[in-house]
Amino acid sequence: MSADFQRAKDIFLAAVEQTDPLEREACLRQACGDDAALRRRVQALLRRHDQTNSLLEQPPFDAAAMLAPESPKTDAPGPRQEAACTRLGPYKLLQMIGEGGMGTVWMAEQQEPVRRLVALKVIRVGLDSGHAVARFEAERQALALMDHPNIAKILDGGTTADGRPYFVMELVKGTPITKYCDEHRL
């Protein structure tokens, strides 16, 4: 990391703690001194921080379009219900259990060679360009390399009929770590 970058990051992180505009201003003045360029750089970052309606606030993702790209947007039956009947190879999608930036995670039933419940993650419609697929593949690869009892194992991977990659993990039911920490006051 360059020294300039590190300095801007440190000052930003100190200033962002100050919610009072005057105190924030004082913090900037003290930290940046007469380096006007540095100060403008940090101020721009602080303004971005204060923007709420931003790209990164929520995953860029339309659950309804996920596995029912053909379905018209009507009230009932919901596209999600329709999607819930979808099969992917030997997997029967049962229930959507999560949404990430790149796709959805489903609880699915594997029917052969063994019957079991698994978690299946599939990239979302419209994201299947080279870049996005490469990133998705990288995640699959990263998970496949991890061999630790506390990390869900990759069981299988493949491509849907319309060319979207997916991978299958063991289904781990449990408490989200944030809830666990709250409950145990960690």
Partner 1 sequence: MPAPPASEDDLLALDEALTRLAAEDPEAARVVQLRYFAGLSVEEAAESLGMSRATAYRHWTFARAWLLQELAGDEPA
Pick the binder of partner 1 from 38, 61, 144, 153 (CB under 8 A). Answer: 61
Contact stretch for partner 1 (CB under 8 A) within 18-26, 82-90, 100-108, 155-163 = 100-108
User: Residues 96, 128, 135, 13: what is their CA dihedral angle, to the nearest 10 degrees?
Assistant: -70
CB atoms within 10 A of CB 80: 16
Query: Given the rule CB under 8 A, which of 25-33, 38-46, 72-80, 88-96 is the region that contacts partner 1?
Result: 38-46
Stretch of 30-38, 80-88, 110-118, 130-138 contacting partner 1, by CB under 8 A: 130-138
Measure Cα distances from 177 to 129, 146, 153, 184 in Å: 33, 19, 18, 10
User: H helices then E strands: how many in the chain?
Assistant: 7, 6
- Which range, of 56-64, 76-84, 89-97, 107-115, touches partner 1 by CB under 8 A? 56-64
Binding-site size for partner 1 (CB under 8 A) equals 42
Residue 103 to residue 84: CA distance in whole angstroms: 15
Residue 13 interacts with partner 1 (CB under 8 A)? Answer: yes
Work out how close the CB of 142 gets to partner 1 at its nearest, in angstroms, rounded to a whole number. 8
* Residues 14/19/22/24 CA torsion (nearest 10 deg): 20
Which residue ranges make up the site for partner 1 (CB under 8 A)?
1-2, 5, 9, 12-13, 16, 44-49, 51, 53-62, 98-102, 105, 126-127, 129, 131-132, 135, 139, 151, 176-178, 181
